[in-house]
Structure 1
Amino acid sequence: MGKETLDDRLRETGSAVRMLRTAASRAYPYPIPAEYTNWRDEQAAWRQTAVLFDQSHHMTDVYFKGPDSLRLLSDTGVNSFATFGKSKAKQFVAVGYDGHMIGDAIVFGLEDDVFSLVGGPTVPNWVAYQAETGGYDVEVRRDERTVENRSGRRTYRYQLQGPAALEIVARASNGSMPPIRFFHVGEFTIDGCQVRALNHTMTGVPGQESTGLEMWGPAEHGPRVLQALLTAGDDHGLVRGGAIAYATTALESGWIGLSVPALYSGESMAAYRQHLGADSFEATASLVGSFDSADVEDYYTTPWDLGYGRVVRFDHDFIGRAALEQLAERPHRRKVWLRWNDDDVTRAIAGSLFGGDNRTLHLNVPYAVNGTYQYDSVLGGDRVIGISNRTGYTVGIGHWSSLAMIDEAEAVDGREVTVVWGEPDGGAVNPGIERHLQTEIRATISTTPPA
């Protein structure tokens, strides 16, 4: 008898939405200390000095080596790979056969025929499946995230973010760090260890230099590199960032990240559902929030919804191209920021603590995401016009906010909308959420990152 699959789980639960709604998993885990000092100072550091995040544990790394590696990426990504190669990186975006999002990850060009995908499990899993079933001359090597990895990670990964980041790395590397263009990879040494680094930013603070470097190398070098960075940062206000602060970085950068992947329905995805195990990330992920539909396809997204329309290139053939060409001509949702009303947020927090039998769902400060996929309804009047996703507070913004996908025609700067906070049926079907009453919170749309 073969292993139980995602397809089996779907048959057992009766529907994809019910499977996701009743899953016990909580928000995506970052298995590092919650705080090193406190989350407020750690958040402030990425605007004022610098913060170091240990990214060695929460992401799935899959390596592809062989003559067909670049063709594999081109066949599975909406991005153009015409000029991609060694020492380059990009935000890799994959869609299914119907043109809806599988997800995104960072793809790194490590050698002429060696590439890696790094991110949540969904995209690395999808591309590895295509490599293994599509007749590609590619060797696939996996380095699972820590929660799924009993043998230990092969690679350390540190993100240094903030105005002082480059100066700190320059000192730690004794001047060996070369100039690195944005979303390119450079190589240098720290304390005798060879380091690779990607120039990118996790926070995207407008009007400020907010350069960041993501550095990685063999796991056995990690402690030495970490200590050298911390020592070099002593005079620059460098602080270590914990899981709480890390989870909130996207509120400023605008990375939505986790949307329901378009794999739970459709005959074209049947073989993949039979490939994925019943204990896979895709089978155990949870869906929370006030947006409520029995049809899982109502939770699917397109590249435009998540702000990736700019990277879609029809200069090559890829999975989902024909469907995406049709979707390109249709109305989309637009990624926006919502600034929640201070009085309504205060009322909701107080109601969760002091509301008794009429309590509201707790707004966990500073990051109130209760499951893998957070989908809260955004109302324009009495009509749903979008979905609020990640939600929380950063000291840089100074208000509660969320990332959202709003119908293009409704995404107007300064427009007031309403976020419905709380689960359908008061959380009755979710084993990890207290019973509560839904509440409405006013919010204001901004199409640009908050200052």
Structure 2
Amino acid sequence: MNLPSLQSGIDQAGSPVKLLWKPGTPPVTVPVVPPEIAGWRAEQRAWYDGVAYLELSHHMADLFVEGPDALRLLSRVGANNFENYAIGQAKQFIVVNEEGLLVQDGILTRLAEDRFNLAGIGTAGTWVQHEAERGDYDVTLTVDPDSAFRGGADPVLFRFQIQGARAMAFLESVFGGPMPSVKFFHSGEVSLAGRTFRALRHGMTGQPGFEFFGAWEDYAPVREALLAAGEQFGLVQVGGLAYYTAGVVGGWLATPVPAIYTSESTAAFRSFTSLFSYEGQGALRGSFYSDDISDYYHSPYELGYGRSVSFDHDFIGKDALAAAKDKVHRQKVTLVWDADDVAAVFGPERDFFLSYTKDRVEKDSRLIGLSEYATYIDPAGAIHSIATIDREHAEPGTEVELVWGEHPGPGTAPDADLGFSRIRATVQPAPYDDYARTSYRKS
């Protein structure tokens, strides 16, 4: 059965914004993983003070790219440097459109000489599939959707992380010696419970630790061995609620709007991808509203992805990205919300809070950017959010205001006075945590 395309959905709705604007939509949840296991506060604290187990096997879509032209296909799509790409090495895969605007990022891992795995929300993987279909590439593509769409089947790979202040001591204990001496985003083979898999120097929380991945049939014995050994270290399993707060801690913008809805250069992709994809079902809501969806797009430079861009090969969007390199872009920051204003808006009791709303950030009543990913960080005792704002206001310590409320969307003026609450916030770096910002990639 042919599913309706994203373009057909846009045509029926009348515009991309009319398709995606959905006030009141709750945040997404992690499939399979319980929302809380030890309680979300204890789970957040574990990755700072102790040892946390984070389950990543179920919420991401995986694309496996295999064949003689696998690297050629990926380097045509990705803006990264692919020279000296080692087996077991991962990259934050950066995909842009012909105009140099971000389509999506994902984690690309080289599993073998001609076999790669791309994990993420899914748009980057669909973009790779589209390029493979319209180009001349000798590759085989295999899609493993996230567990919400897997129909009860097992994942191809298991993937989990051990993170926290005591993570390395725990791992050295359970593996019986030092962990592989590998650089950030590199991996080495390890063995446990008679199974061999890989340990990747990476983590969602920006704290010490490793990510482990391997064949799903090895998942249960490896997991059971780790959890059993973790009892004496006070290992805490992280539930789905706390897991989705980790991106804010790590300074990562989880759900940027993919720049695929407006350009003629992306028209074929809109006809290729399904209406029931992330691109077609993602929800826009919040105090910032524009009829023009391009007002929600991002340059990879403003999200700090310039460090991953390499112009040593031909890729989609290369010329536009090179031309934009020295332009002034907004800057990614952390906003620390004022506790008194938060109490006035939400009440004095601080319960779990997670929001992907697109909210206005203002200075002297003038729009200076958007806050797009907010959560309460219990160890910090405050709500933090990831925002992109004009560079002139991005200095740490700058006071700004966040506008909190739900714009009704199409039919109401973007700048209508809707009596929304205003929450003072202080600009800080992203990531906010000093270790995550300075030592995480070096250790």
Normalising by the residue count of structure 1, what TM-score does the alignment of the two structures yield? Answer: 0.90
Q: Compute the displacement of 1:220 (Å).
A: 2.1
> Residue 92 of structure 1 corresponds to which residue in structure 2?
93
AA of the residue aligned to 1:425: P
Aligned-partner Cα distance in 2 for 1:367–1:250: 14
| Corresponding residue number in structure 1 for 2:45 | 44
Q: Does 1:397 align with 2:380?
A: yes
Question: Given the superposition, is the C-alpha separation of residues 129 and 238 from structure 1 closer, same or farther in structure 2, using an over 3 Å criterion?
Answer: same
1:240 counterpart letter in structure 2: Q
- Does the aligned pair in 1 maintain the 2:59–2:146 contact within 8 Å? yes
1:390-436 CA distances to partner (integer Å, 9 max, x unpaired)? Answer: 1111123221111110111221211110001111139999xxxxxx9
Q: Secondary structure at the match of 1:386?
A: strand
SS in 1 for 2:266: helix
Residue 133 of structure 2 corresponds to which residue in structure 1? Answer: 132
SS at match of 1:388: strand
188 and 318 in structure 1: CA distance in 2 versus 1, 3 angstrom threshold: same
- Structure 1, gaps ≥5 residues long: 205-209, 354-363, 430-435
Find out whether 1:3 has 2:3 as its counterpart. yes
For residues 275-424 of structure 1, what are the structure 2 equivalents within 5 Å?
Answer: 275-350=272-347, 365-369=351-355, 374-424=357-407
State whether structure 2 residue 213 is matched by structure 1 residue 216: yes
Tell me the percent identity: 39
- The match for 1:63 is 64
When residues 407 and 347 of structure 1 are mapped into structure 2, their CA distance, relative to the original with a 3 A threshold, is same
Q: Distance in 1 between matches of 2:431 and 2:122?
A: 27
Shift of 1:445: 0.5
Please give the per-residue CA displacement for 1:174-228, whole angstroms capped at 9, x wherever unaligned: 4485323221011111101111121113222xxxxx3221111222221111111
Aligned match of 1:255: 252
| SS of equivalent residue, structure 2 residue 213 | strand
* One-letter amino acid matched to 1:413: P
Please state whether the residue corresponding to 1:250 is helix, strand or coil.
Answer: helix
Point out the more displaced range, 96-105 or 177-186: 177-186
Match of residue 19 from structure 1: 19
Quote the offset at 1:330 in angstroms: 2.0
* Corresponding residue number in structure 1 for 2:422: 440
Report deviation, 1:293: 0.6
CA gap 1:279/1:407 in 2 versus in 1, 3 angstroms: same
**In structure 1, distance between residues paired with 2:367 and 2:8:** 33
What is the distance in 1 between the residues matched to 2:11 and 2:430? 42
Contact 1:248-1:366 at 8 Å conserved across structures:
no
Separation of aligned partners in 2, 1:321 and 1:299: 21
Cα displacement string for residues 58-80 of structure 1 (whole angstroms, at most 9, x for unaligned residues): 01111111111112221111111
Aligned to 2:181, the other structure's residue is in SS state coil
Contact 2:195 2:218 in 1 (8 A): yes
Tell me if the contact between 2:121 and 2:278 (Cα under 8 Å) persists in the aligned partners: no
Alignment length (residue pairs): 426
One-letter code aligned to 1:393: Y
The CA RMSD measured in Å over matched residues stands at: 2.1
**Counterpart code for 1:335:** K
CA contact (8 A) 2:386 2:430 kept: no
Q: TM-score, normalised by structure 2?
A: 0.91
**Matched ranges for 1:123-162 at <5 A:** 123-150=124-151, 151-162=153-164
Amino acid corresponding to residue 409 of structure 1 in structure 2: E
- 1:162 is displaced (CA, Å) by 0.8
Q: Report the CA distance shift for 1:50/1:281 in structure 2 as closer, same or farther (over 3 A).
A: same
How far apart in 1 are the matches of 2:430 and 2:178?
Answer: 36
Hey, what does 2:441 align to over in structure 1?
none
Structure 1 365/102 Cα, relative in aligned 2: closer, same or farther at 3 Å?
farther
Q: Distance in 1 between matches of 2:87 and 2:268?
A: 33
SS, match of residue 155 in structure 2: coil
Q: What residue in structure 1 maps to residue 185 of structure 2? A: 183
Q: Deviations over 1:15-34 (max 9, x none)?
A: 10111103886423311101
1:357 alignment counterpart: none
Runs ≥4 in structure 1, deviation > 4 angstroms? 426-429
Name structure 2 gaps, 5 residues minimum.
413-417, 434-443
Q: Give, as a single letter, the amino acid of the residue that structure 2 aligns with 1:389.
A: E
